[in-house]
Amino acid sequence: MIEENPPATPLAEITARIKELIVDINGGDGADLTDAAPLVGDAALVDSGGLLEIMLALEDFAAERFGKPFDWMNDKAFSATRSPFETIGALAAFMERQMEGAGP
């Protein structure tokens, strides 16, 4: 009997998509990417252009996969104290909350 893979959770799908985008931007195989990898700051995985590319691609992903818009234009997205852009995991969790309808 062929065992089916369990369906991926939205968080897992979003995280995987972010990692794919980083690999597309930087090259490599992405094997070393973790959810704690920084997206901004001195050790950032991408520059500001790369981050913008990820943001735009996630808008498309949200519409295609979840049938919902991804709202970047809110106070929490650009908060200095709790930025969703700090790590891969933070960005994925931020997007998941929006896709579940809980808001940013």
Q: Determine, yes or no, domain membership for 48.
A: yes
Higher local confidence (pLDDT), 77 or 95: 95
**Number of neighbours of residue 82 by Cβ within 10 angstroms:** 10
Q: Determine, yes or no, domain membership for 81.
A: yes
pTM above 0.75, yes or no: yes
- What pLDDT, in 10s, does the model give residues 6-57? 557 999 999 999 999 999 999 888 888 999 999 988 889 999 999 999 999 9
Number of compact structural domains in the chain: 1
Q: At 19, which CATH number? A: 1.10.1200
- Residues 6+ away with beta carbon under 8 Å from 22: 30, 33, 45, 46, 50, 54, 88
Q: Determine, yes or no, domain membership for 73.
A: yes
Q: Determine, yes or no, domain membership for 104.
A: no
Paired strand residues for 87: 38
Q: Determine, yes or no, domain membership for 1.
A: no
Residue 1 in this model has a pLDDT that exceeds 50 = no
Q: Determine, yes or no, domain membership for 2.
A: no
* pLDDT at site 52: 92
* Structural domain range at position 64: 10-26+34-99
Residue at 53: amino acid letter: E
